[in-house]
Chains A and B, each alone.
Chain A
Amino acid sequence: MAAKESTRVEYGKTLAQLGAENPQIVVLDADLSGSTQTHHFAKIFKDRFFNVGIAEQDLMGTAAGLALGGKIPFASTFAMFATGRAWEQIRQTIAYGNLNVKIVASHGGVTVGEDGGSHQAVEDLALMRILPNMVVLAPADGPETRAMTRWAAAYHGPVYMRTGRLAVPVIYDDTYVFELGRGSLLREGGDVTLMGIGIMVQTCLDAAALLAQDGIEARVLNLGCLKPLDWELVLDSARRTEAVVTAEEHMVTGGLGSAVSEILAEHCPAPLKRIGLRDTFGMSGKPEALLKHYGLTADDIKQAAYKVIARKANHLALPVMDLKAPKMAGR
């Protein structure tokens, strides 16, 4: 098994490095600096770290004010409380105001584990993706987290990035460069495309390996940049393989599955199956047990791949429309 890194830890370490490189960077937290890993930055740059206490709405508003004052604020708490409790502060002030605030929220998804449904954010990507101006990211591993964090610090505008609690296998090496609006092709294959985000990218790779044992070649994409989504790559892959499976540690509504469905429905309605939570909240349990319960394993992806491949024969391929990724609003 490959080395493992936790995306929240890599975020915290990169943030501490960035602090030394750029004095404009400030960091805010809401009494979870150990969990979100902003405590690394807090220890070194005491004057540029602000703990607002258990007050997520205040967290977002204060970050907004710092951005208006020319700072580059990174605001962190759990994904549930960042995107849930403070959604309207993010919507009205950070997104509508198009402010240079980076919201980096940890504990996304059901792999939060034992804390249970109240703490497992399975709708954060949807809540952020619906906002104009917002860039929405969910890294798949340590190197991608480091690259996205550095990219976010250099980019001017609102960004949401989800990190996870657990250590996950390393997919990329440190030459990986993140580009806004670009996904990456991790594996070539002509029979089906598996499109993953976050921890499900590795699961897609594992599913591709299982499918290969059966002689099925799966193309695997990492769509960790959920907004703006890489339209060209999604459509090109759908056209090549004519069968698609999306996989996310999130509701199938509002996140990657929805985003891909929207594109395919309009431009290339290939058979599609979405892997993710279906109209349900999370619950307590060990992360592995929960991934299994919610159908988020490599085997679930493999079964879904079989289903979409079987549907290929029946589906009427419609003419592919002109492919132009939409420009992000407000820029």
Chain B
Amino acid sequence: MQEIARQVRIDIVEMLFRAGSGHLGGSLSATDILVALFFGEMRTKAGDPCWLDRDRFILSKGHGAPAYYAVLARLGYFPREELLTLRQFGSILQGHPDSGCTPGVEIPTGSLGQGLSIANGMALAARLNGHASRIYALLGDGEVQEGQIWEAAMTAAHYGLDNLVAILDRNRLQIDGHTAEVMSIEPIADKWKAFGWHTLEVDGHDIGQLLAAFQACKGVKGRPSMIIAHTVKGKGVSIFEGQKKYHGVAPNPEEYQQALQELGAVTGPPA
């Protein structure tokens, strides 16, 4: 799975370089989380994206779309060549996830703060329908500054949604700088606990820890789970790591070359 994550990171760098724009830092920080979820945990069928019993995923931090698309392509939801059309006119891969265009995407996201409520609704529906589906939502640590997140946090706990797992991509950066400087969110674990959530913290780049956390959440009854995944924005490429500058820009040609080298890319474009 680590190898898949490495490949996904190469895809992300390649996609953004071709597109000339896009969100690099938050895609690379979320890569291991997405790979662990889609390759190690969730029950989905790439050939049947609307399979009723599937587990669901909501990319609430919608700007992480490149990582999401690279994972979906690897699973076979659409041909990998499509990755190179990211953000272009007429592409099935919009700048932010659009369920109307992209197989495997459940709902448009990109306007931050809305995904957890949607996940709650899906979790309630699964319960009403008697489906065993589990619902996963990935949130940004800047994103949780939105008030709607905390409305949803109350709802999930109130209705005891134990089929819901939220993961926080705790990379400590947002657009204008460090979350600690822009708008402090700490003590973040205590907040979720106080809202009634089963809360655990993991290294968000350690696939083993992530998988173990997903397993642990399954044993929790009567409450939703929050996995705070400590990550590094821009993870995998030294020049991008921890740099606010790389939130929403594509690599230039030198950065692109260096990134491919550091990620050990043998061939350039995805096969």
Contact = CB atoms under 8 A, between A and B. Distances in A.
A289 B89 contact: yes
A71 to B, nearest CB: 20
A29 B174 CA distance: 13
A169 to B, nearest CB: 23
A113 B22 CA distance: 11
A331 B110 CA distance: 39
Interface stretch (B163-171, B175-183, B256-264): B175-183
Interface in A256-303: 283-286, 289-290, 293
A180 interface: no
Interface string A109-141: 000011111110000000000000000000000
Nearest to A35: B175
Interface stretch (A47-55, A194-202, A310-318): A47-55
B176 A51 contact: yes
Interface stretch (B44-52, B92-100, B154-162): B92-100
Nearest to A290: B89
Contact of B147 (A32, A33, A55, A84): A55
A285 B113 CA distance: 25
Contact of B142 (A54, A58, A113): A54
Contacts of A32: 175-176
Interface in A66-110: 80-81, 84-85
B179 to A, nearest CB: 8
A290 B111 CA distance: 21
A57 interface: yes
A31 interface: yes
Interface residues on B, range: 20 to 34
A23 interface: no
A57 B111 CA distance: 13
Nearest to A32: B175
Interface centre among A34, A35, A54, A290, by most chain B C-beta atoms within 10 angstroms, is A54
A53 B182 contact: yes
B142 A31 contact: yes
A116 B182 contact: no
A70 B195 CA distance: 37
Interface centre among B20, B21, B96, by most chain A C-beta atoms within 10 angstroms, is B96
B98 A116 contact: yes
Contacts of B19: 114
B89 A119 contact: no
A285 B96 CA distance: 12
Contacts of B91: 284
B108 interface: yes
B90 interface: yes
Contacts of A80: 111
A298 B144 CA distance: 43
Interface string B223-260: 00000000000000000000000000000000000000
B147 A283 contact: no
A116 B110 contact: yes
Given A32-B176, A116-B87, A285-B89, A54 B143 contact: yes
Interface in B125-157: 142-143, 145-147
Given A284-B89, A285-B87, 16 more contacts: A35-B175, A53-B179, A54-B146, A54-B174, A55-B146, A58-B147, A85-B113, A114-B19, A114-B87, A116-B94, A117-B108, A118-B94, A118-B96, A119-B110, A284-B88, A286-B89
9 contacts: A31-B175, A51-B182, A53-B179, A54-B112, A54-B113, A57-B147, A114-B22, A114-B87, A119-B110
Interface of A: 29, 31-35, 39, 51-55, 57-58, 80-81, 84-85, 113-119, 283-286, 289-290, 293
